[in-house]
Structure 1
């Protein structure tokens, strides 16, 4: 169990609604669909109504600070089955990159790799008390594009399994590139925070509003206050 999963959920019943993609930049086809993930006919570019409204607000803030810039929606609502697919995919990628074979791993070696994977990915749990953040429709992975439509450099790829994914990785970097990466990450953070989102402590691209992680991050910033999540796992048909 991760710390944020201890937060209670009081489900609001707010619906998933389509993100108005014309207001944003978007990858097409969806990055995980390209890898083979099956969304079961569900559109991944959906979020809870209140989260979509906040995302539009964040885009409006960005336009004030960086005219012509857009928030790029990398991933939004993610069914648990897709969460499982990406967890398994990442594990297989780690093995491939290290020249390892699953059947040759000892149990401690296998567990060590799974621990690395779960530093990045939430466990694809069906427990209603511990939903993966994206399965709630309250978490979104985003980056920025400039006025020319080019992806803004952040110093690491989204979903990169490395220390560079830490939001403040470049905070003390005195090089010109490091300063640029940090400034770009801070711009993204600024517009999302102002719209009500909270940033994942280990992923510069992951923001949430209304889920357990969001509530837990608020509690860390406001000791003594008891925050409750208003979005649990979205019921999946089939």
Structure 2
């Protein structure tokens, strides 16, 4: 997909990784809608603020109505609460699933007819190495990203006949607020990951592995789980 003259919607474009994606899309010649719950917080030069709350389906549908020329949807908005699956607050678990799984689902359902009507295009889901690796301390987040990986695969097959490619971006830790507590030497620069993501869209990669962590975890998927209790 050629990004020059592409029309993109980036969710969660007001900060962190989404801001880098929006800025780099503009640099590559795209028209960009920067979507956020509070559009006034989107301040990237050249980006059109768009109100969109991924947990509010009416908001998502209205955004799709306004951004009627879109050919690229990047499902970037997400949260991490740190909830565990057994001992964690169930409301937090549900909130992560609503944002990280049902949010991209709602956006993809709303924007797919728009993208198809504009001649086809691409959906990119921003996922994580934790789509495949599920530590207990981040059980809720990992479960939501695993679900979003399944969403990616299923919608890739469903939307292909409509001229829409669906890709996934996987990364370990990026230097953003979400990974503020992670040592610097374990994180990759968000700007570098954004560049890899956009390169992957242009070359049509179905899966973009942006760092050594994501590549290692993906290669380890066939390993037999080890027992953790007697």
Which TM class, normalised by the smaller chain length? under 0.3
More helix per residue: 2
TM-score, structure 1 as length reference:
0.24
TM-score, structure 2 as length reference:
0.25
Greater relative CO, 1 or 2 (CA 8 Å, sep 6+):
1
Instruction: Point out the structure with max Rg over C-alpha.
Output: 1
